[in-house]
Structure 1
Amino acid sequence: MFHLLLHACLAAEPATCAERLLPAPAPLTEEECHSTAAERAAGWLLRHPELTAGPSRCAPTADLPQLPLKEIAPGLLVHEGQDGLPDTANRGEIANLGVVIGSQGIAVIDAGASRAQAESLFSAIRARSDLPIRALILTHMHPDHSFGADLFREAGAEILGAPRLAAGIEARAASWMESYPPQVGNGALLGTLMALPDRGTADERLELGGATLHLRAVATAHTDNDLTVFHAQSGTLFTGDLVFNELLPTLDGSVNGWLAWLDEPRPEVRRIVAGHGPAPLPWPDGAEATRTYLERLRTTVRAAIAAGQPMSVAIRDRDPAEAARWQAYDTSHPRNVSAAYAELEWE
């Protein structure tokens, strides 16, 4: 199996360059890769006016960078994201990603933080299977989970998400494209385009041949567009950022809704893959740290509101034990207090 690689540079920063992988929906021989290279590269560049093109080449799968994947059940693989919040060192690659390989096709759960990371995930998949990638399932809108989506659309996948995912991305696209490049570096995002889902789904089963996925949208919780993915054969639930492990939970939706989701019984679930941190975790114990943090957040913010404290005072709350427990506590907790205050003051 061969893949087209195109050397591209940022027109505004000619020294910022990288090879970009242009995936094909079906496997290509070396001859097919070379014979279609010029047309495919020209078409791709039309969608990327911010780039200038250099030479292209065709390479076998074994020569491509591949994202590490570990198999947690037959045909079920996970990539564990790096520690911390997005920065130039981790290039934003902090989210856990999933791959499900059935006998009739493949599904990907979350696309990573950039086209570059998605390319490495695609290469890792192709090192294991040449079956069609039928679906990319986005658990929610945030860039560390969704910014690699365009690569998988090019590879032939249908992009699925919660019914409100498209609106969530559209509402924040402009601010993300202003704030995210300085966080992770322009080079990390070279060739990255934000992609909207092809369709939203609230409750759907996806059959891949020996692998059944149940997609279910969630009422407003971590965000207003969360979606969980349940792998029936192994009893594994991909929670997206409805559960955090080691990295502090971040609130972009409803603390009440989030805790309500955590309280729902799920007897079919044996373990979970959280949005961040080592995976898998047992259910429900693996979500207990997230629950404890959110319960304390709600209790302290309600107390501050009852005492008449303004938000500017409430965000000074700091619990030393929680700070020691979570990565990025001092950065994210004040934002969580602000979001919870805005919600709870109207109770």
Structure 2
Amino acid sequence: MFHVILGVCLALSPDQCGTILLPRGDSPTQQACRAGADRLAADWLEDRPDLVGGAIACRANADLPAAALQEIAPGIHVHFGTSQQMEETPDGRIANLGVIVGRDGVAVIDAGVSRAEGQALHVAIRRLTDRPVTHLILTHMHPDHVLGAQVMVEAGATVTAHHALPQALQMRADSYLDLIARLYPPAEWIGTQVVMPDSLVQDRATIDLGDRRLQLRAWPPAHTDSDLTVLDEATGTLFTGDLLFRDLTPVVDGSLRGWLAWMDSDPAAGARLIVPGHGPVSESWAPAAAPQQTFLKALADRTRQAIGDGLALSAAVPVIANALQPLQNSWNSYPETVARNATAAYKELEWE
């Protein structure tokens, strides 16, 4: 397999450059790749006046950087992100990403934090199979899960997400792009775009890959207001997105009460393998979920206590954070996240 590779730089900052992989140019031979490379690159650049194209090449798949994929069940592959907050990493690649290979195509679950990560995932997929990438499923709207989506769209995927994701993502699109440009070098984020879904899940939906079916479920506000889970029926593998954190401190960006209700609802019933949004896979729900449930319940209890004591938000946040310190050894990136969670919890629970 050969891929069309295009060098690009920012039109207004020609010293800021990166490398673009164009999935539509994937070819079995270098000759076939070269035959359409110039036209493909010109078409891609036409809609991107902020970028200036440079060298065009056709490179073998084996010579390109690829995301590390681990097969956890037949046809189910996972790229495990770094269990830290984005600000603590050199590239923001912190989310777990899924690849499900079916007879009729490939479904990707989340696309990473940037075009660069999406490209690395695409290269890895092409090392597994030449079957078409037919679906990209976004588990929620956070940047570490959605900003690599354009690569999968160019590869031919239909994008599916929770019905609330478009509005949530539109509100945050500019800030997400500004964030990765501020945190990482241009080679990591250049060419990254925000993509809106083609298909929305109101409650439940099914994706048929020929020899396996995926069950999608949209949930009420919990981690965010756009949380979606994916269950592969063939293997009983449940992708929870960030409804389940392991290792990395959970982030409340939807509803603390809703998240606790979700955890109490036995959401992994029937699953034989559970893939969280961050952290390792588990074969059992109870041990995987217990640390997060303990943390969220403690957050709710301490926040209600601070509100009951009459503390204003500014005074309550450090009190809540201090009360939760005994839990910090269970989580990565704890100090960076706990104050944010205390603020979100206070704003929600003060209206009970």
Structure 2 counterpart of 1:208: 209
Distance, in Å, in 2 between the alignment partners of 1:179 and 1:2 is 32
User: What amino acid does structure 2 have at the position aligned with 1:120?
Assistant: A
Distance, in Å, in 2 between the alignment partners of 1:109 and 1:269 is 17
Superposition pairs of residues 286-305 of structure 1, within 5 angstroms:
286-305=288-307
Superposition pairs of residues 10-29 of structure 1, within 5 angstroms:
10-24=10-24, 27-29=27-29
Deviation string, structure 1 residues 22-47 (Cα, Å, up to 9, x no partner): 00287554333212111110111123
SS in 2 for 1:49: coil
Structure 1 residue 79, shift from structure 2 partner: 0.5
Distance, in Å, in 2 between the alignment partners of 1:189 and 1:216 is 31
Structure 2 counterpart of 1:4: 4
* Residues 140 and 161 in structure 1, CA contact (< 8 A), matched pair in contact too: yes
Structure 1 residue 12, shift from structure 2 partner: 3.0
Structure 1 residue 117, shift from structure 2 partner: 0.6
Structure 1 residue 68, shift from structure 2 partner: 0.4
Structure 2 counterpart of 1:336: 341
- Structure 1 length normalisation: TM-score? 0.96
* Residues 86 and 92 in structure 1, CA contact (< 8 A), matched pair in contact too: yes
Structure 2 counterpart of 1:326: 331
Superposition pairs of residues 1-347 of structure 1, within 5 angstroms:
1-24=1-24, 27-87=27-87, 89-202=89-202, 203-265=204-266, 266-280=268-282, 282-316=284-318, 317-318=321-322, 319-347=324-352
Judged with a 3 Å threshold, the aligned counterparts in structure 2 of structure 1 residues 234 and 328 are, in CA distance, closer, same or farther, namely same
Where structure 2 has 5 or more consecutive residues not aligned to the other structure, the ranges are: none
* Residues 18 and 188 in structure 2, CA contact (< 8 A), matched pair in contact too: no
Deviation string, structure 1 residues 207-233 (Cα, Å, up to 9, x no partner): 112222111101000000000001112
Structure 1 residue 62, shift from structure 2 partner: 1.8
SS in 1 for 2:128: coil
Distance, in Å, in 2 between the alignment partners of 1:133 and 1:161 is 16
Structure 1 residue 320, shift from structure 2 partner: 2.6
SS in 2 for 1:343: helix
* Residues 215 and 227 in structure 1, CA contact (< 8 A), matched pair in contact too: yes
SS in 2 for 1:127: helix
Distance, in Å, in 1 between the alignment partners of 2:9 and 2:25 is 25
Distance, in Å, in 2 between the alignment partners of 1:167 and 1:25 is 32
* Residues 223 and 252 in structure 2, CA contact (< 8 A), matched pair in contact too: yes
The 10-residue stretch of structure 1 (281-290 or 33-42) with the greater mean CA deviation from structure 2:
281-290
Structure 1 residue 182, shift from structure 2 partner: 1.2
* Residues 138 and 160 in structure 2, CA contact (< 8 A), matched pair in contact too: yes
Structure 1 residue 132, shift from structure 2 partner: 0.8
The 10-residue stretch of structure 1 (144-153 or 38-47) with the greater mean CA deviation from structure 2:
38-47
SS in 1 for 2:57: strand
* Residues 3 and 28 in structure 1, CA contact (< 8 A), matched pair in contact too: no
Deviation string, structure 1 residues 4-33 (Cα, Å, up to 9, x no partner): 000111223322222210002875543332
Distance, in Å, in 2 between the alignment partners of 1:27 and 1:164 is 37
SS in 1 for 2:39: helix
Distance, in Å, in 2 between the alignment partners of 1:146 and 1:267 is 27
* Residues 102 and 209 in structure 1, CA contact (< 8 A), matched pair in contact too: yes
SS in 2 for 1:284: helix
SS in 1 for 2:134: strand
SS in 2 for 1:131: coil
Structure 1 residue 140, shift from structure 2 partner: 0.4
The 10-residue stretch of structure 1 (111-120 or 204-213) with the greater mean CA deviation from structure 2:
204-213
* Residues 3 and 25 in structure 2, CA contact (< 8 A), matched pair in contact too: no
SS in 2 for 1:23: strand
User: What amino acid does structure 2 have at the position aligned with 1:140?
Assistant: H
Distance, in Å, in 2 between the alignment partners of 1:344 and 1:45 is 49
* Residues 91 and 184 in structure 1, CA contact (< 8 A), matched pair in contact too: yes
* Residues 246 and 327 in structure 1, CA contact (< 8 A), matched pair in contact too: yes
Identity %: 43
Structure 1 residue 243, shift from structure 2 partner: 0.6
User: What amino acid does structure 2 have at the position aligned with 1:204?
Assistant: A
Structure 1 residue 77, shift from structure 2 partner: 0.3
Structure 1 residue 185, shift from structure 2 partner: 3.4
Structure 1 residue 293, shift from structure 2 partner: 0.6
Judged with a 3 Å threshold, the aligned counterparts in structure 2 of structure 1 residues 264 and 27 are, in CA distance, closer, same or farther, namely farther
Distance, in Å, in 1 between the alignment partners of 2:272 and 2:315 is 41
Distance, in Å, in 2 between the alignment partners of 1:180 and 1:63 is 26
SS in 1 for 2:15: strand
* Residues 90 and 184 in structure 1, CA contact (< 8 A), matched pair in contact too: yes
